[in-house]
């Protein structure tokens, strides 16, 4: 966790605002209480440092709302909360649904590639987005831009 905390601190020092966008259907399914979700958010900030925005979708996949990614609603809401146009936002993500939400909103995704089990395995997903091997490498890409 320390390398990620240090990478996020470098982003903060460079003037980046940081946030989270996330589908959390476990709340709607009753698997996770809202208070537990808030505790996870508090623990994440204790481990990683403060985050400027949390845009979390607690609905289930069949609730009929329009904010489930790959819809851009959560990314757009996070941009609005930060007061930053989507064109100036980079979303570091690990799924194609979140990368698509970023693109649709006008933001720029960096896709952290998933790896299969075993050393030296190739990425599981091929993508046309900017990619990184892990979150720390994604931060290094951002700091070079």
The predicted-structure confidence for 24-75, as pLDDT tens digits, reads as follows 888 888 898 989 999 999 999 999 999 999 998 887 777 778 888 889 999 9
Higher pLDDT pick, 28 / 119: 28
CATH number of 2-140: 3.40.50.1000
pLDDT for 67: 82
Domain map (residue ranges) of the chain: 2-140
Query: Which tokens in the block code for residue 117?
Result: 């089990």
Q: Is residue 118 exposed (0-12), middle (13-18) or buried (19+ Cβ within 10 Å)?
A: exposed
């Amino acid at each position: 966790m320390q390398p990620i905390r240090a990478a996020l601190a470098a982003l903060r020092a460079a003037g980046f605002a940081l946030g989270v966008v996330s589908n959390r259907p476990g709340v709607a399914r009753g698997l996770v209480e809202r208070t537990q979700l808030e505790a996870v958010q508090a623990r994440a900030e204790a481990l990683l440092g403060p985050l400027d925005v949390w845009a979390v979708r607690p609905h289930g996949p069949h609730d009929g709302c329009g904010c489930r990614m790959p819809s851009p609603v959560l990314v757009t809401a996070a941009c609005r909360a930060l007061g930053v146009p989507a064109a100036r936002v980079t979303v570091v993500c690990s799924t194609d649904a979140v990368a698509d939400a970023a693109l649709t909103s006008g933001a720029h995704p960096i896709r952290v590639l998933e790896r299969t089990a075993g050393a030296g395995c190739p990425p599981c997903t091929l993508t046309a987005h900017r990619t990184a091997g892990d979150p720390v490498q994604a931060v290094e890409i951002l700091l070079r831009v």
